[in-house]
């Protein structure tokens, strides 16, 4: 079962053509990653950043914008971990609403030590949770 | 009883100093105005903009940033209409969380005809609802 | 002579009504404050933040949105320091373009120690430069 | 010769870790596409959108974030058209600064009729200019 969260298209997301301006999708995506960390991995961003000194920057992104989203649309974001490396993790992400896919993405995150600004191995309990998520998806 | 909505401080709202970058508060504020229109005035932004051709731009803003907000903070936004004119409306807004006020604002919105881009009188049913909100507040 | 900088209205600043979404003005304003710090006060934000551990958060803001701005508009932002306190500074800001004022604002900044997150007196050489700016304006 | 434009990393682009928050790169990228349209294709966004009723939404994006960018960094953005279809165009984009690549992207834009919200063939003079850009690159 992939992780699922929802968001609503707000006025601040919309461009002059009346559809979501694509950089705003990445703000929504980043918030979905926050929800996934807090709810699926048991590690909210505040704890990760402020107490553990860990960040999870995005290092790779493949996105296909399948259909546009408009003001007020309720979007479901599903997030499925696909692969885990020593300090990286690949997620498959789908935004959809009204039974229409809006975008599909593959995202690679890296576990980063905020002090050295270098990749660092996933802490064991986070790795275990991501691996559970991958196992579910198969 | 003022209108109340909640929001969470997200990574995308935070600056290099670890606190909410103030332009992001206005994105949150604009979303709160959307919620107020939909829930208190019975007019969601999609209907207002796309079907009625009405926008509600902000024409005046007085803000005091009382205390900072951090990643993960849950904020309550209260919105109290204070005065209504022919085509304007003044709102008093407070952001708070953990019993600490984060910001106080007075906001003047204007009812704008999106085609002429000029102020236009509030539609009667919207005016009635705003006036109810003002009456409650007294 | 007030400090002056310019910016262009970009697609990312525009809302569904075809005009600048007001939170974007504050991103432009913040960049203008960066330019003022670097060019008029001799302290770029990188040095201030990373080497001196000083931030200049906005604590008060009065804004009047006088007329709308559209895609492609070239805007001039003038920034005039008006008053300086022990650790605060009031600026008068005007955005204009095509001989039309777009917005007028009074902004109060505070000199903040990034480690303690408390107001701290302006460093002497910064105070001197701000005072020169105030003297010019009279 | 690819098209080249520059931008500076601003405080509004930076996240809590002190580096550019990746959705902000896409705001910069979109502004670079505006510059390319205006300067290389002879069609500024205002004319395209308001007078010709044409938009150029992004439909596909592959990005690799190679190295982080910090507050104050001056970035050069190069934009090289690679392929043109009936109503699409592929661009190769590189952000660099201080002789260090920050990100590499392949971007597919589509020429969209803003009224029908459907893909429409490139106007001939725009197609001709894009093809010149492709020819240069070979």
User: Per-residue pLDDT tens for B21-37?
Assistant: 999 999 999 999 999 99
- Cβ–Cβ gap A23/C11 under 8 Å: no
Q: Any idea what DSSP says for residue A47?
A: I
**Segment (H or E) for A79:** strand A74-84
The tally of domains found in chain D comes to: 1
**Per-chain mean pLDDT for chain B:** 95
Q: CA A107, CA A18: separation in Å to the nearest integer?
A: 27
**Where does the pLDDT of residue B87 fall: very low under 50, low under 70, confident under 90, or very high at 90 and above?**
very high
Asked if residue B138 has pLDDT above 90, the reply is: no
DSSP letters spanning chain C: --EEEEEE--GGGB-TTSBB-HHHHHHHHHHHHHHHHHHTSS--HHIIIIIS-EE--EEEEEEEE-S--BTT-EEEEEEEEEEE-SSEEEEEEEEEETTEEEEEEEEEEE-EETTTTEE-PPPHHHHHHHHHHHHHH-
D60 φ/ψ angles, rounded to the nearest 5 degrees: -150, 150
Say what the ipTM of the complex is: 0.95
Separation of alpha carbons C103 and B28, rounded Å: 21
**Which of C30, C32, C53, C59 to mutate: most B Cβ within 10 Å?**
C59
When CB atoms are compared, the residue of B11, B12, B16 closest to D11 is B16
Residues of chain D with pLDDT under 70: 137-138
Instruction: Mark yes or no for CB contact B68/C60 under 8 Å.
Output: no
- Chain C: list its partners (3+ Cβ pairs within 8 Å): A, B, D
Two structure tokens written together for C121 = 């007196």
Contacts of D101 (CB under 8 A, 6+ apart): D66, D67, D94, D95
- Residue numbers in A near B10 (CB within 8 A): 27, 30-31, 34
Going by DSSP bridges, is the β-strand pair D112-113/D118-119 parallel, antiparallel, or unpaired?
antiparallel
Chain B CB contacts of A45 below 8 Å: 11, 71-72
What residues contact A95, with CB distance under 8 A and at least 6 apart?
A: A25, A28, A29, A69, A75, A76, A77, A101, A102, A103, A104
3-state SS assignment for residue A74 = strand
Q: Give the minimum alpha-carbon distance from B13 to chain C in angstroms, rounded to a whole number.
A: 12
The reply to whether A83 touches chain C by the CB within 8 Å rule is: no
Q: Are the Cβ atoms of C50 and D34 closer than 8 angstroms? A: no
Write the CA distances from D99 to A12, D6, D25, D75, D106, integer angstroms.
35, 14, 18, 10, 20
Handedness of CA D36, D40, D43, D46 (dihedral sign): positive
Residue A50, domain extent: 3-137
> In terms of DSSP bridges, do strands A88-97 and A118-119 run parallel, antiparallel, or are they unpaired?
unpaired
How many CB contacts within 8 angstroms connect chain A with chain D?
A: 68
Check CB contact under 8 Å for A60 and D65.
yes
Percent of chain D with pLDDT over 90: 91
Q: Tell me if chain D has a CB within 8 Å of the CB of A114.
A: yes
Contact status, residue A9 vs residue A40, Cβ threshold 8 Å: no
Question: Which residue in chain D is spatially nearest to C72 when comparing CA positions?
Answer: D46
Condensed to tens digits (0 to 9), the pLDDT of residues A103-132 reads 999 999 999 999 998 999 999 999 999 999
Name the minimum distance, in Å, from the CA of A138 to any CA of chain B.
31
Which of the other chains make 3 or more beta carbon contacts under 8 angstroms with chain B?
A: A, C, D
CB contact under 8 A, C71 and D45: yes
Report residue D43 as tokens. Answer: 């069609």
- Helix (H) / strand (E) element for A6: namely strand A3-8
Q: Three-class SS of residue A75?
A: strand
Query: Are β-strands B88-97 and B100-110 bridged in parallel, bridged antiparallel, or unpaired?
Result: antiparallel
Q: What angle do CA D94, D98, D100 make, to 5 degrees?
A: 50
Q: Is B88 helix (H, G, I), strand (E, B) or coil?
A: strand
Q: What is the number of alpha carbons within 13 Å of residue B58 lying toward its C-beta?
A: 27
pLDDT, residue D138, reads 62
Closest by CA to B14, choosing from B69, B77, B95, is: B69
**Residue C52 to residues B33, C49, C57, C111, D27: CA-CA distances in angstroms?**
39, 6, 15, 11, 29
pLDDT in tens, C22-57: 999 999 999 999 999 999 999 999 999 989 999 999
Report the predicted TM-score, pTM, of the whole model to 2 decimal places.
Answer: 0.96
Angle at alpha carbon of residue B122, lines to B64 and B135, rounded to 5°: 60
d(CA B98, CA C93): 34
The average pLDDT across B37-58 equals: 93
Whether D11 sits inside 8 A of B21 (CB atoms) is: yes
B1 at interface of A, judged by CB pairs closer than 8 A: no
pLDDT of residue C50: 87
CA–CA distance, B30 with A9 (Å, rounded to integer):
12
Q: Which of C18, C22, C44 to substitute to test the interface with B, most B CBs within 10 Å?
A: C22
Per-residue H/E/C for chain D: CCEEEEEECCHHHECCCCEECHHHHHHHHHHHHHHHHHHCCCCCHHHHHHHCCEECCEEEEEEEECCCCECCCEEEEEEEEEEECCCEEEEEEEEEECCEEEEEEEEEEECEECCCCEECCCCHHHHHHHHHHHHHHC
For the stretch A29-85, pLDDT in tens is 999 999 999 999 999 999 999 899 999 999 999 999 999 999 999 999 999 999 999
- Pick from C21, C24, C61: which is nearest to B63 by CB? C61
Residue A32, SS3 per DSSP: helix
Residue pLDDT tens, chain C, 138 long: 789 999 999 999 999 999 999 999 999 999 999 999 999 999 999 999 989 999 999 999 999 999 999 999 999 999 999 999 999 999 999 999 999 999 999 999 999 999 998 999 999 999 999 999 998 766
Query: Which of B 35-74 lie inside 8 A of D, CB atoms?
Result: 71
DSSP annotation of A57: -
Q: Around Cβ A90, how many Cβ atoms within 10 Å?
A: 16
- Subunit contact A12:C21, Cβ cutoff 8 A: yes
**Which candidate, A37, A27, A13, A26, places its Cα nearest to that of A65?**
A26
| CA nearest to B63, candidates B115, B21, B17, B103 | B103
Q: What is the pLDDT of residue D137?
A: 66
Extract the tokens encoding C27: 């991103």
B-chain CB neighbours of A44 within 8 Å are: 72
Would you state the pLDDT for residue A50? 87
Phi-psi region of C117 (alpha: psi -120 to 50; beta: other; left: phi over 0): left
CATH number at residue D119: 3.10.129.10
Beta partners for residue D95, in sequence order: D77, D103
Q: CA of A42: how far to CAs of A34, A35, A36, A37, A126, in Å?
A: 11, 10, 8, 6, 8
**Mutation target vs C (from A9, A16, A26, A73; most C CBs, 10 A cutoff):** A16
Residue A136 φ/ψ, nearest 5 degrees: -55, -40
């Amino acid at each position: 079962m992939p992780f699922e969260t929802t968001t609503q298209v707000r006025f601040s997301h919309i461009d002059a053509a009346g559809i979501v301006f694509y950089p705003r999708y990445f703000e929504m995506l980043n918030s979905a990653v926050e929800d996934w960390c807090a709810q699926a991995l048991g590690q909210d961003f505040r704890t990760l950043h402020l107490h553990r000194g860990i960040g999870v920057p995005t290092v790779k992104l493949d996105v296909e914008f399948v259909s546009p989203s408009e003001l007020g649309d309720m979007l479901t974001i599903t997030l499925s971990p696909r692969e885990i490396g020593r300090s990286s993790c690949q997620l498959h992400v789908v935004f959809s609403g009204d039974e229409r896919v809006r975008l599909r993405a593959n995202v690679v995150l890296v576990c980063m030590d905020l002090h050295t600004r270098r990749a660092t191995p996933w802490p064991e309990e986070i790795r275990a949770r991501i691996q559970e998520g991958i196992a579910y998806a198969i």
